[in-house]
């Protein structure tokens, strides 16, 4: 089968989203201050705090994915409701500065995962399968460059390729062992690789909230940009996966690569 013109338009939309995430730029535009100034204001041990909060948030999200994603109802994605919930969480966390991130991030990440799952369902994902559950978690790695990236390695398919082995091993483990994940090397490797990329985006969020006068209102606004970013990433990701289920994956990837960057 040949990809239809309508599906190519969908794929072009997905590429436009996935190759131009720009969360830091959006934050800078909204708060009117270069995000680099926020990084300079963070305390000495901020990287350790962000790393711990990121890992805890992803572990919480994985628990949610394994236990509840296939039990949610169907229908239109409730993007607005999820945004309101994350905004409320961000307002509470923003009032307490960086220490509030430790408590707030797992909550907002869990809410975002629900939203990601809604978007996945809308694109035909069957969330009873471990692969689909992990595809939802995988969204948190999109739009965040790891320390090992270079200009040619930061694209959407490069990220998926980098995560492919860890995702496959984790899916195989979950299919065989079910919900048991404590001490599982396959799950630990996946969390570690996701955390490296998700932590970049979390660091940008933390830096923005470190800017003076951001406070609770600013924390809510930053969280709105935060969830909007990952809703966009989910939309692009699951458009691509919908087409990959219908056509040969290599054909979809080849079509994606040949589409213009916009």
196-209 pLDDT, tens per residue? 999 988 888 888 77
Share of the chain above pLDDT 70, in %: 78
Mean pLDDT, the chain, as a whole number?
A: 80
CB 30 within 8 A of CB 225: yes
In angstroms, the CA 99 to CA 111 distance is 20
pLDDT in tens, 197-243: 999 888 888 887 777 656 555 667 777 888 888 989 999 999 999 99
In angstroms, the CA 252 to CA 232 distance is 20
* E strand or H helix that includes residue 98: helix 97-122
In angstroms, the CA 7 to CA 100 distance is 43
pLDDT higher than threshold 70 for residue 44: yes
User: For residues 210 and 78, which has the higher predicted lDDT (pLDDT)?
Assistant: 210
Return the pLDDT at 150: 47
Return the pLDDT at 100: 65
pLDDT higher than threshold 50 for residue 188: yes
Residue 31 in tokens = 């708060």
pLDDT in tens, 116-153: 998 999 999 998 888 999 999 999 999 765 555 544 44
- pTM to 2 decimal places: 0.84
Phi-psi region of 260 (alpha: psi -120 to 50; beta: other; left: phi over 0): beta
Residue 118 in tokens = 């809604």
Residue 76 in tokens = 């239109």
Residue 252 in tokens = 């979809």
How does DSSP classify residue 247? S
Instruction: Give CA 202 to chain center in angstroms.
Output: 10
Return the pLDDT at 151: 44
């Amino acid at each position: 089968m040949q990809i239809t013109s309508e599906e190519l338009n969908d794929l072009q939309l997905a590429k436009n989203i996935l190759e131009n995430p720009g969360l830091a730029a959006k934050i800078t535009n909204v708060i009117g201050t270069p995000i680099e100034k926020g990084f300079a204001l963070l305390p000495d041990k901020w990287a350790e705090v962000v790393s711990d909060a990121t890992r805890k948030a992803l572990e919480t999200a994985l628990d949610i994915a394994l236990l509840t994603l296939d039990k949610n109802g169907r229908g239109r994605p409730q993007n607005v409701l999820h945004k309101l919930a994350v905004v409320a969480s961000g307002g509470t966390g923003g009032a307490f500065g960086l220490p509030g991130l430790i408590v707030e991030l797992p909550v907002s990440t869990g809410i975002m995962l629900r939203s990601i799952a809604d978007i996945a369902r809308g694109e035909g994902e069957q969330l009873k399968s471990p692969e689909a559950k992990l595809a939802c978690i995988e969204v948190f790695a999109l739009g965040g460059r790891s320390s090992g990236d270079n200009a040619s390695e930061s694209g959407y398919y490069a990220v998926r390729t980098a995560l492919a082995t860890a995702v496959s091993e984790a899916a195989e483990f979950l299919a065989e062992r079910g919900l048991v994940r404590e001490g599982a090397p396959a799950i630990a490797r996946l969390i570690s690789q996701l955390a490296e990329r998700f932590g970049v985006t979390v660091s940008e969020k933390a830096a923005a909230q470190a800017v003076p006068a951001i406070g609770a209102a600013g924390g809510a606004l930053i969280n709105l940009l935060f969830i909007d970013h990952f809703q966009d990433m989910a939309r692009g990701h699951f458009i691509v996966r919908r087409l990959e289920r219908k056509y040969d994956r290599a054909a979809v990837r080849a079509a994606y690569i040949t589409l213009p960057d916009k």
